[in-house]
Structure 1
Amino acid sequence: MQNALLGKRVLVTQSGEFMGPMLCEVFAEQGATVVASPEDLADPEAAQRVVLAAGNIDILVANLAFKAPTTSAAEVSEAEWRQVFAALVDPLPRLVRAAVPAMITRRSGKILVIGSASALRGMKRASSYSAARGAQLAYVQAVGVELAPHQIQVNAIAQNFVDNPTYFPAEVQANPRFQERLAREVPLGRLVAAREDAQFAAYLCSEAADCFVGQVFPVCGGWVGR
């Protein structure tokens, strides 16, 4: 729906990574004023700093990216575990603490977490990453229920096999082994286009999606359903 976000002010975190560039592009096309923050959020003070700098926002899109390690479970170090959680999990409550008070006062707001379907289906050599992504989704479900009475909708997209430069750069997509895997594992038979994903994100942040509370939406070309 064109201009579904007209008049809305949207903060997109880590705007240069993962889904950030396409989210910014599509949200702007839908009429939103987009505040694109490229800042890394691992620093405990970063989330508060980014939200304050964005001003009065109607929508927070928590786009958090970290290239998944491929360590076997028995070899995951304490440092790797902490690093993955510091990048993907720890920023979420900080962002919520910074953004939600104004939304509660206004009795309006949306928070969308761009997560991963790796939390919904087992993947070999991805234990630290999948655990962190799973924590994101559990957090969304809990906070979504808590904030719904304040007319704040909190939801998440759990994606995989979506075209983006962080996880599926051009050299990966050009690899014949990857194409074989795509044909074997994804019923859609191709990557979900970044624009398709971002348009769904824009819908979830629009007034048309006010009925969704603490929900997790897989966007993965059918990969989770297999």
Structure 2
Amino acid sequence: MNALRGDALAGRHAVVTGGARGIGLAIARRYLAAGASVALWDLDALALAAALETLAPLGTATSAVVDVREEDQIARAAAQSQERFGGIDILVNNAGVLGPTVTAWEHTPAQWRNVLDVNLTGAWLCCRAVAPAMLARRRGRIVNIASVAGKEGNGFNAAYSASKAGLIALTKSLGKELASSGVLVNCITPSAADTEVFAAVPPEHREQLRTALLSRVPMARFVEVDEVAAMAAWLASDDCSFSTGAVFDISGGRSVY
């Protein structure tokens, strides 16, 4: 994958959900470097403010406090981008939660629904809000951040694995529906990144989980957020012209399909 030109995304406006930290913030930084303007959508207002401060020297970045489970909040933020930037050219569905690290039968119904609502239904709601306008202009890119867990399933993480498998299937379906429209839809399946997501794991299980995840990766390290961002930048660019509904692995050899 060649490095993008500095103007490869010039004039385009991108929305990155879960953009205040981790992979989402790295993607936003990469898009700004390629000339795009970026709107960060996230639940955490304080983290959004800190993220905007770090991005300000790089280009035009805005933010909106958005719960991707709430259709009205998505619609309001999308309208803001429409008014200020003329529309959304790139949508990155990155917002996600890990959920409980317990057996499948120990998930409570509320925990199960919350993980599916954020990771899968939230992405669908964002696509539902943005895709029609992209279709009308016959141009757009949707990049879904799934997970290797959606391909293989992680023990003691059933809700997360199921939600990411669903996001892969949503990518394939939407990609086929939009295949001749100029709107390309693809997803990325990273293995674990060493981000704040581990903070959600109870301390007594945290190191055990980290060790277990690394043991499955032949390259024996966590993926870097900038590595995921590089792939997301290519998928958003014109260099990606004949791939849609596809799954792009970045798992250090863990999953080679």
The TM-score with structure 1 as length reference comes to 0.90
Higher relative contact order (CA 8 A, sep 6+): 1
* Conserved 8 A contact 1:161-1:221: no
Following superposition, the deviation at residue 45 of structure 1 comes to 2.0
* Conserved 8 A contact 1:162-1:220: no
The aligned counterpart of 2:129 is 98
3-state SS, counterpart of residue 155 of structure 1: strand
Q: Which deviates more from structure 2 when the two are superposed, residues 202-211 or residues 36-45?
A: 36-45
The aligned counterpart of 2:191 is 160
RMSD of aligned Cα (Å): 2.3
Judged with a 3 Å threshold, the aligned counterparts in structure 2 of structure 1 residues 182 and 42 are, in CA distance, closer, same or farther, namely closer
Count of paired positions: 223
The TM-score with structure 2 as length reference comes to 0.79
Judged with a 3 Å threshold, the aligned counterparts in structure 2 of structure 1 residues 106 and 183 are, in CA distance, closer, same or farther, namely closer
The gaps in structure 2 that reach 5 residues or longer are 43-65
The gaps in structure 1 that reach 5 residues or longer are none
The aligned counterpart of 2:80 is 53
Following superposition, the deviation at residue 224 of structure 1 comes to 1.9
Give CA deviations for 1:184-214 in whole Å, capped at 9, x if unaligned.
3211121121111101110011000011110
For the pair 1:34 / 2:38, whether they are aligned, the reply is yes
The aligned counterpart of 2:54 is none
Give me the whole-angstrom Cα distance separating, in 1, the residues matched to 2:98 and 2:223: 19
Give me the whole-angstrom Cα distance separating, in 2, the residues matched to 1:80 and 1:157: 25
Give me the whole-angstrom Cα distance separating, in 1, the residues matched to 2:176 and 2:250: 22
The aligned counterpart of 1:188 is 219
For the pair 1:123 / 2:127, whether they are aligned, the reply is no
* Conserved 8 A contact 1:187-1:221: yes
* Conserved 8 A contact 2:100-2:107: no
Select which of 105, 117, 121 maps to 1:74.
105
3-state SS, counterpart of residue 209 of structure 1: coil
Give me the whole-angstrom Cα distance separating, in 2, the residues matched to 1:74 and 1:90: 22
The aligned counterpart of 1:24 is 28
Select which of 223, 231, 234 maps to 1:203.
234
Following superposition, the deviation at residue 76 of structure 1 comes to 2.0
3-state SS, counterpart of residue 19 of structure 1: helix
The aligned counterpart of 1:133 is 164
* Conserved 8 A contact 2:153-2:162: no
Judged with a 3 Å threshold, the aligned counterparts in structure 2 of structure 1 residues 167 and 5 are, in CA distance, closer, same or farther, namely farther
Following superposition, the deviation at residue 143 of structure 1 comes to 0.5
